[in-house]
Amino acid sequence: MTDLYNYDLTAHNTFGINARCKRYVAFDNVEEAQSVLPSLVASGEQLLILGGGSNLLLTADYNGTVVHSRILGVQSSDDGADHVLLRSGSGVVWDELVAQCVAQNLH
């Protein structure tokens, strides 16, 4: 888990515009998320939830906590009929997941 203050969000900002946040908390698994999220919610601090980081445009600093899920992994199960169940981590990049599904003929 990562917990930083006055964090530079440029790498997460779609157009690379310089912006910072008051606090940045990133977790890599469900257990880390479960340990940190209750205290963040209870604090009353403004929260911005960040997944893969695409489609985010900050034009100024964010005066709150950015919560970044880095939970990866994709699982699929085929029921033998015409259905495939996908389960993905909240940090999986949507475009990459769709491309993987197309490549594996899961559409």
Exposure string over 71-102, b if 16+ CB within 10 A, otherwise e:
beeeeeeeeeeeeeeeebbbbbeeeebeeeee
Residue 52 has pLDDT above 80, yes or no: no
Q: Which of 53, 63, 65 is nearest to 93 (CA)?
A: 53
**pTM score, two decimals?**
0.82
Please check whether residues 55 and 33 belong to one and the same domain: yes
Same-domain status, 79 and 44: no
The reply to whether 61 and 35 lie within a common domain is yes
What per-residue confidence (pLDDT) applies to 53?
57
Mean pLDDT of all residues in 34-62: 89
- Same-domain check for residues 42 and 92: no
Secondary structure of residue 45 in the 3-state scheme = coil
- CA-CA distance, 10 to 72, in Å (whole number)? 22
